Amino acid sequence: MQFAGPLALRSGTSISDYTLAYETYGTLNADRSNAVLVCHALNASHHVAGVYEGQARSEGWWDNMVGPGKPVDTDRFFVIGVNNLGSCFGSTGPMHVNPATGSIYGADFPVVTVEDWVDAQAALLDALGIRTLAAVMGGSLGGMQALSWTLQYPDRVRHAVVVASAPNLTAENIAFNEVARRAIVTDPDFHGGHFYQHGVIPKRGLRIARMIGHITYLSDDVMNEKFGRILRSAVEGETVGLDYRYSTQDVEFQIESYLRYQGDKFSEYFDANTYLLITRALDYFDPARSHGGQLSKALAQATAKFLLVSFKTDWRFSPARSRELVKALLDNRRNVSYAEIDAPHGHDAFLLDDVRYMGVVRSYFERVAQEFQ
């Protein structure tokens, strides 16, 4: 959908003439009360659920969660997926032409924040004729957007489902983002963010960024279970896997092969400037900041009911961070449900099937559905 704007951004600038790519699933009911907005994290899009006809492996990124008969049941809910501004999957982003200059945005694309995305999502809802959301939901950075909805538009959201998220990034979180960004920015093919004109892509940097990210998405346990110290040669069946090749540059362990593959794949489709923008949006998110660091004060504005979910082995956004949110909401006597799921998969667990996790979300949305039936 095309928007004339201008949309004012937190950085002090604004963006005009922009597109938001979105998809919807299910049917909006007569009183427009069954809409659920799903917000995405770093590496996802508006394509939340379903498949594209004739396209193999085109399942939406949360297809296990959203669909007919699924925890977020599209037989009852009207679900909206939207690609955020600055991303690289259809909405206006750094690889598009800036209509004001006629040149590709590149590194000049404005810095966008979680709050800006929420404003853009609200404008999309206006255009769709939806005043109030039955629920807003998301995992990780998507959970930050869901939380921010309850603060920016408290009267437009009845429920917020915040999964594997945090009230802000820790120093360690920022540190990992920064290393990934440095890998991209110092890649000679980055050209200060204007690589499009040079016909190159900073793939080296993107690969490193993705490898780092991937390590932080998985738990130590699941890495040991899946890969352990298994040699690549053993997997390839070349040897019984007892012999080291003694090489510093070749793949020796299976975990190396896996990470290189993930890095290569990512560098083929993800935009480098988008990576910088989205990790920065993560860094900047900190609703307590304008309240002297007091999260309870910041969340006083929220009137929605909340479901929070965390995963015990998630060391990127640990359960302790979700508990901070729970505590701050309870300080304000808000209605909060909280589940800490003992899944082994680390941060990635929010995208994966787990019977307890899916059960918790399903039950919660049954409750949400009762409010408009």
Q: Give me the amino acid identity at 332.
A: N
Which lies closer to a copy of itself via its Cβ, residue 59 or residue 252?
252
Give Cβ neighbours of residue 191 (< 8 Å, ≥ 6 apart).
Answer: 197, 198, 200
Q: Is 249 in the site for a copy of itself (CB under 8 A)?
A: yes
- Residues in the interface with a copy of itself (CB under 8 A) total 60
Q: Is 168 in the site for a copy of itself (CB under 8 A)?
A: yes
- Name the active-site residue from 159, 322, 347, 348: 347
Q: How far is CA 44 from CA 96, 211, 285, 296, 365, in A?
A: 18, 17, 19, 30, 23
Q: How far is CA 373 from CA 31, 34, 348, in A?
A: 11, 9, 34
Which lies closer to a copy of itself via its Cβ, residue 140 or residue 273?
273
Q: Is 125 in the site for a copy of itself (CB under 8 A)?
A: no
Give the separation between CA 191 and CA 12, rounded to whole angstroms: 26
- Name the active-site residue from 119, 271, 286, 314: 314
Encoded one letter per residue, x for contact with a copy of itself by CB under 8 A and - for no contact, window 186-205 reads xxx----x----------x-
Which lies closer to a copy of itself via its Cβ, residue 151 or residue 209?
209
Q: Is 240 in the site for a copy of itself (CB under 8 A)?
A: no
Q: Is 234 in the site for a copy of itself (CB under 8 A)?
A: no
Instruction: Locate all alpha helices (DSSP H) within 198-354, ordered by sequence.
Output: 203-217, 220-226, 232-236, 254-269, 272-284, 295-299, 319-331
Give the separation between CA 189 and CA 338, rounded to whole angstroms: 45
Cβ-based burial of 185 (10 A; exposed 0-12, middle 13-18, buried ≥19):
middle
Instruction: Give the residues lining the site for a copy of itself (CB under 8 A).
Output: 10-12, 107, 111, 168-172, 174-176, 178-179, 181-183, 185-188, 193, 204, 207-208, 211-212, 215, 218, 220, 223-224, 226-229, 242, 244, 246-249, 252-253, 255-256, 259-260, 263, 273, 276-277, 279-280, 283-284, 286, 289, 315
